[in-house]
């Protein structure tokens, strides 16, 4: 499969009205899945979802989506299906469940931040069935997705990537096909490495400013205007100052990502000393009971050290 290094910008489209329009499947209606459903429904698509948590399905129905009774029922009724799940192992379990109901011509779009090796395995397993698989990771959190301010980095067949542009443009400002299966996951881990370290550095900087007796709010204002600026300051600075850790993306999920980053680095022979330190901080945060909170809660560990 060729490597196509291309980016596709926003191409706003709306699904055609009518009772016969395509149903888009969504397995996993958590924080990210709910935001995706909201964007797809707002773009005129019908969304059929499945989740093990009744509250997630209730949210989907409130948005105007429909619920499937099971993942296998959904797989039998939808041609293009998003997977928005916590990790690659759960993805593998779902694929095992639905494999018997899949049919040639379907496209599975896996937005899970997962293991590139398992993404490659999924693509190879589904290809003989005539089912296209994309590991189409989303760069951004649930609030950014809700605003349509995320990126898609995908690995898999070019034809399937091109065919899904109408879906990607409903919630992402740009999308790239990085290459074969697994390359989308590799790029997502790369972006999460930099993003997570930016977040940890901001937390340490604000903690440092407070320890020196500076007004943290004024310190953040100066940082925003300085050459040390990053978008993380816009997204997480206010949450850190207000100690508002309502989750946009949970801390435990990022710890999972950092562990994947370190595993991928070890396999590739890449030294990642900063990510190793980051893992230790996140593990301390999780041990302190902060895992279910927003990932900006890492500042609480630094405040108490």
The values of phi and psi at residue 84, to 5°, are -130, 85
Do 165 and 190 form a contact (C-beta atoms < 8 A)?
no
Do 137 and 152 form a contact (C-beta atoms < 8 A)?
yes
pLDDT in tens for each of the 305 residues of the chain?
Answer: 334 444 544 444 455 555 567 899 999 999 999 999 999 999 999 999 999 999 999 999 999 999 999 999 999 999 999 999 999 999 999 999 999 999 999 999 999 999 999 999 999 999 999 999 999 999 999 999 999 999 999 999 999 999 999 999 999 999 999 999 999 999 999 999 999 999 999 999 999 999 999 999 999 999 999 999 999 999 999 999 999 999 999 999 999 999 999 999 999 999 999 999 999 999 999 999 999 999 999 999 999 88
The predicted-structure confidence for 204-257, as pLDDT tens digits, reads as follows: 999 999 999 999 999 999 999 999 999 999 999 999 999 999 999 999 999 999
Do 40 and 66 form a contact (C-beta atoms < 8 A)?
no
| pTM assigned to the model | 0.90
**CB environment 84-122: b (16+ within 10 A), e (fewer):** bbbbbeebbebbeebeeebeeebbbbbbbbbbbbbbbbb
- Domains located in the chain, CATH noted: 6-180 (3.40.50.720), 188-304 (1.10.1040.10)
Distance CA 172, CA 165 (A): 10
């Amino acid at each position: 499969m060729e490597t196509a290094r291309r980016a596709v910008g926003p191409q706003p489209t709306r699904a055609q009205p009518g009772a016969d329009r395509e149903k888009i499947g969504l397995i996993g209606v958590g924080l990210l899945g709910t935001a995706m459903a909201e964007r797809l429904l707002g773009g005129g698509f019908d969304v059929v979802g499945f989740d093990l948590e009744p509250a997630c399905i209730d949210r989907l129905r409130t948005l105007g989506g429909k619920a499937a009774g099971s993942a296998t029922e959904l797989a039998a009724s939808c041609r293009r299906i998003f997977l928005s799940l916590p990790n690659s192992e759960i993805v593998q379990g779902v694929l095992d469940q639905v494999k018997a109901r899949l049919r040639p011509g379907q496209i599975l779009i896996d937005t899970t931040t997962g293991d590139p090796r398992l993404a490659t395995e999924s693509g190879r397993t589904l290809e003989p069935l005539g089912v296209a698989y994309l590991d189409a990771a989303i760069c951004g959190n649930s609030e950014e997705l809700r605003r349509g301010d995320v990126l898609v980095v995908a690995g898999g067949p070019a034809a399937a990537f091109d065919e899904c542009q109408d879906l990607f443009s409903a919630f992402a400002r740009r999308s790239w096909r990085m290459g074969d299966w697994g390359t989308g996951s590799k790029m997502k881990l790369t972006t999460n490495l930099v993003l997570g370290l930016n977040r940890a550095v901001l937390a340490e900087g604000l903690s440092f400013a407070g320890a020196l007796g500076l007004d943290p709010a004024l310190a953040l204002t100066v940082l925003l205007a300085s050459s040390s600026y990053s978008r993380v300051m816009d997204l997480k600075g206010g949450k850190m100052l207000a100690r508002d850790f309502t989750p946009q993306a949970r801390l435990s999920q990022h710890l999972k990502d950092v562990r994947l980053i370190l595993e991928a680095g070890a396999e590739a022979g890449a030294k990642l000393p900063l990510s190793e330190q980051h893992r230790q901080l996140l593990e301390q945060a999780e041990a302190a009971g902060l895992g279910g909170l927003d990932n900006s809660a890492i500042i609480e560990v630094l405040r108490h050290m």
